[in-house]
Copies of this chain bind each other. A is one copy, B any other.
Amino acid sequence: MATIREIAEKAGVSVGTVSFILNGKGDKMRISVATQERVLEAARELGYLPSISARRLRNSDEKKIPVITILWTLDARASLISRFLQGIQEKSLFKDGMFELLIQPYENGKIHEVESLHTGTRFNGAIIANASKEDLEYLERTNLNVPIVLYQRYSEKYCTVNVDSRLTGIEVAEYFASKGHKSVGIVVPEISSQAVDLRQEGFLEAVKNSGMINSQILRGDFSEEGGYSVIQSLVKRSKDLPTALFFLSDPMAVGAILACHEHGIRIPEDLEIIGHDNDEQTAYTYPPLTTVHLPVEEMAVACVNQLMELINHKVETTGSLEFKTELVKRKSSKS
């Protein structure tokens, strides 16, 4: 709000003097204690807040490195960001000082409220994660003036780093079919997303093609509680449970495991469970969870690299990278 010029005026000194004092160089510059007091007091009264932009502008070291941001939703999926960051960390992409990383939370469905995507006043490029369908539509029809990489989404317009979610759905369904299941289900988080839709689509299609008799779509919150509730209501509704379930999030599967224990449903004998993402905890549930490994760490590195290339004009704006998921077989499915 207040600038050092206002402080200077109020304290009756020059801006240079104010700057020195505010930076603790008052003594070194041999400015009298009385003056220092006066200036500090004035700063306090005016509620001085240094402008970091102005400071940076002066510091030549910090001018050259690009600032990149990760736009991530702060809902239940917030916990997934740690793997993303660790992926970047492991490659020690930070250390080289090639970029500065900024994580900016946004609300699901409200990416249009992130003004800096238009103003370009905060970062040189952005990685957008967890975009909902509304968010994606918005991005498709808007012209951003900032290089962008989409994580886990498809787009004609932007650079993307993705996996074939449809194929994942197919593979899990075929895995179930190969085990001879006749009645299966897919448990879908109540968060609209392209990736979830595609997994579901692939799964259902493959289920149909494989001649399984019965398949159902169940919905629940993305979290442990969501998976727990799904089992609860399944048990309440009928005695004829499906014999295999594909949960589109690991936390849901974790919640489901507890519910099964409580209802005496044996895993995998009565019910096979497969999760999605391969979160660290899934190797330690009881029984350990079979899950679809999402190469988050590798994708994170790819996102950063792609974005850097974009920023450096070294690549077209619509390049795409596709990674592979992989079924990690543990004990929640029959061997």
Given A103-B103, A284-B254, A284-B255, verify A53-B50 contact (CB < 8 Å).
Answer: no
Copies of this protein in the complex: 2
Q: Contact: B228 with A284, CB < 8 Å?
A: yes
Q: Contact: A51 with B24, CB < 8 Å?
A: no
Asked if A44 CB lies within 8 Å of chain B CBs, one says yes
Shortest Cβ distance from A280 into chain B, in angstroms? 6
Asked if A295 CB lies within 8 Å of chain B CBs, one says no
Asked if A16 CB lies within 8 Å of chain B CBs, one says no
Name the interface size band of chain A: 35 or more
Which of A30-38, A54-62, A128-136 is the contact stretch? Answer: A54-62
Asked if A236 CB lies within 8 Å of chain B CBs, one says no
Q: Contact: B44 with A51, CB < 8 Å?
A: no
Asked if A121 CB lies within 8 Å of chain B CBs, one says yes
Asked if A105 CB lies within 8 Å of chain B CBs, one says yes
A224-B120 Cα distance, complex, nearest whole Å: 41
Q: Contact: B89 with A56, CB < 8 Å?
A: no
Q: A52: which of B105, B123, B257 is its contact (CB, 8 Å)?
A: B123
Complex contacts, A63 vs chain B, CB 8 Å: 51, 53
Q: A51: which of B23, B57, B228, B285 is its contact (CB, 8 Å)?
A: B57
Q: Which residues of A contact B (CB under 8 A)?
A: 1, 23-24, 43-44, 47-57, 59, 62-64, 66-67, 74, 78-79, 81-82, 85-86, 89, 94, 100-105, 119-124, 143, 145, 223-225, 228, 251, 254-255, 257-258, 261, 280-281, 283-286, 288, 311-313
